[in-house]
Chains A and B, each alone.
Chain A
Amino acid sequence: EPEVTQTPSHQVTQMGQEVILRCVPISNHLYFYWYRQILGQKVEFLVSFYNNEISEKSEIFDDQFSVERPDGSNFTLKIRSTKLEDSAMYFCASRETSRLSNEQFFGPGTRLTVL
Chain B
Amino acid sequence: SQQGEEDPQALSIQEGENATMNCSYKTSINNLQWYRQNSGRGLVHLILIRSNEREKHSGRLRVTLDTSKKSSSLLITASRAADTASYFCAGERNTGFQKLVFGTGTRLLVSP
Q: Which residues of A contact B (CB under 8 A)?
A: 31, 33, 35, 41-45, 48, 50, 55-56, 89, 91, 93, 95, 102-109, 111
Contact = CB atoms under 8 A, between A and B. Distances in A.
Given A42-B88, A45-B99, A102-B30, A108 B41 contact: yes
**B contacts with A: majority SS:** strand
User: Which of A35, A42, A48, A109 gathers most chain B CB within 10 Å?
Assistant: A42
B48 interface: yes
Given A42-B104, A108-B41, A108-B42, A102 B99 contact: no
B102 interface: yes
B106 to A, nearest CB: 12
A33 B99 contact: yes
Interface residues of B, number: 27
Interface string B79-103: 0000000001010100011111111
B45 interface: yes
Contact of B102 (A43, A95, A111): A43
Interface of B: 2, 4, 30-31, 33, 35, 40-45, 48, 50, 88, 90, 92, 96-105
**A contacts with B: majority SS:** strand
Contact of B43 (A31, A50, A91, A111): A91
